[in-house]
Amino acid sequence: MPGIPTSQTEVTHVSKHGLWLLLDDEELFLSFTDFPWFKAATIDQLCEIEHPTEDHLYWPSLDVDIAVASIRNPSAFPLVAAARA
């Protein structure tokens, strides 16, 4: 059974282009082009983030799971699902 996560994960900024996420001491940018699931989300939905494992983030109110590696290198993970209408 995994231990209690100690890392801090939070949204630090949202613009019309995407959102910035602070993951421990690293700031990552999620563009709405690469991550369209977040474009129509509310601030509350974007800020509700779970970090269950080192390379896994989950937004429960959006039902979105993302590997941290895909944020660091989105071109290596082409979209295989469309955004919800």
Q: What is the pLDDT of residues 53-79, one digit of tens each?
A: 989 999 999 999 999 999 999 888 876
CATH class of 9-76: alpha beta
Full DSSP string of the chain: --------EEEEEE-SSEEEEEETTEEEEEETTT-GGGTT--HHHHH--EEEETTEEEETTTTEEEEHHHHH-GGGS---SPPP-
Give the domain ranges of the chain: 9-76
Overall pTM > 0.85 = no
